[in-house]
Amino acid sequence: MFKKFKIPDATIGRLSMYSRYLIEADKKGITTVSSQHIAKATGVTPAQVRKDLAYFGEFGTRGVGYNSRELYNYIMKILGLNKQWSVAIVGAGNLGRALSQYKGFNQRGFNISCIFDNDPKKIGKKISNINIYSFDSLAEKVKDFNIKLGIIAVPASAAQEVADKLVKAGVRGIINFAPVNITVEENIILRRVDLAAQLEYLTYYLEEI
């Protein structure tokens, strides 16, 4: 049905933005939106919006636009967000703790099921009702909770080891917050988020002047 062929990575990020606008529009009672409206709200061009949507089907009506609610539902389905996802966070440091409490995940259907750490002082404790388990029990818990998504929030030196553990346990998609390149087998989806690099992007441009 959907996902006929290779589509740009950036499209997926934009779909996420579109869906956020659409749910807001729907809440406000705006039943029909145009690519123009979506574009303005999300900071892209109208042609880009139409192109992005066209990868997956024909959701609009010529001369009219798109039905907000309907398009929202389509996009959520395309993104795989028409169900709940269990997520494991590895690393109960500052970042891991913050991510485990981050409301933005829940709002989009992500459920942080458990946290893993190797610090005996942290194991057995909870972070806002989420249990912290040892690395040793990772495989077991990942299976118990049917976790397919993992977030790596450990120091760079431990990131590869953690990734290997997650994959072995059955995790299929990983976000790596450690500032290091890690490798996984081909059928695992890996994404790297480098927080310091984001600031460096800013300083690069600021230094120019």
Site residues for a second copy per CB under 8 A: 3, 9, 12-13, 15-17, 20, 41-43, 78-81, 85, 87, 94-95, 97-99, 101-105, 107-108, 110, 148-149, 151, 172-175, 179-181, 183, 189, 191, 193-208
What distance in Å separates the CA atoms of residue 34 and residue 47, rounded to the nearest whole number?
A: 11
Residue 86 beta carbon to a second copy: minimum distance, rounded to whole angstroms: 11
Residue 131 beta carbon to DNA: minimum distance, rounded to whole angstroms: 39
Nearer to DNA, 60 or 150 (CB): 60
What distance in Å separates the CA atoms of residue 64 and residue 130, rounded to the nearest whole number?
A: 47
Residues 116 and 198: beta-carbon distance below 8 Å: no
Nearer to a second copy, 31 or 107 (CB): 107
* Partner interacting with residue 206 (select from DNA, a second copy, none; CB below 5-8 Å by kind): a second copy
Residues 160 and 181: beta-carbon distance below 8 Å: no
What distance in Å separates the CA atoms of residue 65 and residue 146, rounded to the nearest whole number?
A: 39
Question: One-letter amino acid identity for 67?
Answer: N
* Partner interacting with residue 94 (select from DNA, a second copy, none; CB below 5-8 Å by kind): a second copy
Nearer to DNA, 62 or 103 (CB): 62
Question: One-letter amino acid identity for 167?
Answer: V
CB proximity list for 10: less than 8 A, separation 6 or greater: none
Residue 21 beta carbon to a second copy: minimum distance, rounded to whole angstroms: 8
Nearer to DNA, 53 or 115 (CB): 53
Nearer to a second copy, 139 or 193 (CB): 193
Interior angle at CA 126, CA 147 and CA 82, nearest 5? 35
Residues 86 and 113: beta-carbon distance below 8 Å: yes
Handedness of CA 5, 11, 16, 17 (dihedral sign): negative
Question: One-letter amino acid identity for 56?
Answer: F
* Partner interacting with residue 58 (select from DNA, a second copy, none; CB below 5-8 Å by kind): DNA
Q: Contact positions toward DNA, by CB under 7 A? A: 6-11, 33-36, 44-48, 50-51, 53-54, 58-66
Residue 151 beta carbon to a second copy: minimum distance, rounded to whole angstroms: 8
